[in-house]
Amino acid sequence: AEYMGLFLETLGSTMSTAEAPKKKYVHKKYTYRGITLEELLDKSGTELMEMFNARQRRRLSRGLNVKVRNFIQKLRKAKTNCAFGEKPAVVKTHLRNQIVMPEMVGSVAGVYNGKVFNAVEIKPDMIGHYLGEFSITYKPVRHGRPGVGASASSKFVPLK
C-alpha cells in the first residue's frame, strides 16, 4: 500500500507538469558582443572599430580605399532600390578581404572565388568576418570515388 501511494504521488506530479501550458517560442535578438544590431548601426566608425578583433581594427584604422567605398555605396543603392520584403540585387565583388560591417546586413554580395561569383546573403552573424570566408575557393575532396586510370578495372566505370 505504501508503494502504491508513492506511485500515485509521482503520477500526480507528472500530470501537473504535463497540464502546464507550453512556453511560446520567442525569437532571440542578435547581439554582437552584447550590443543589438540597431545599436551597432547607430555607432560611429571608431566606436565600431574598437569592438572588432585586432586584425580588423588595424585594417579599419588604415582607412577605406576607393574600391571598398564604391562597394559599400553599391550595396546601399541596391538595398534602397528593392521593394520592401524582397532581397536586394546581387552586387558582384572581388573584395574577398572586405570586413562585414553592420550596414551591410541584409544585402546580397556576389563574392568571387576565382571562377564564379557566389551569392552571399549577409546576415548579422557575419559581422566582423571577411566576405571570402563565405565563398569557398576549392571543391572539397570526395574520398572513395575512383577516377579514370585509378586501377585496371576503372576503365569499365561509366563516366558521368
Give the pLDDT of residue 144.
Answer: 81
Confidence of residue 90 (pLDDT cuts 50, 70, 90): very high
Q: What is the pLDDT of residues 33-44, one digit of tens each?
A: 888 888 888 888
**How high does pLDDT run on average in the chain?**
84
pLDDT mean over 77-102: 93
Cβ atoms of 99 and 110 within 8 Å: the answer is no
pTM value is: 0.72
Q: What is the pLDDT of residue 132?
A: 94
**Is residue 11 pLDDT above 60, yes or no?**
no
Alpha-carbon span 59 to 158, nearest angstrom: 51
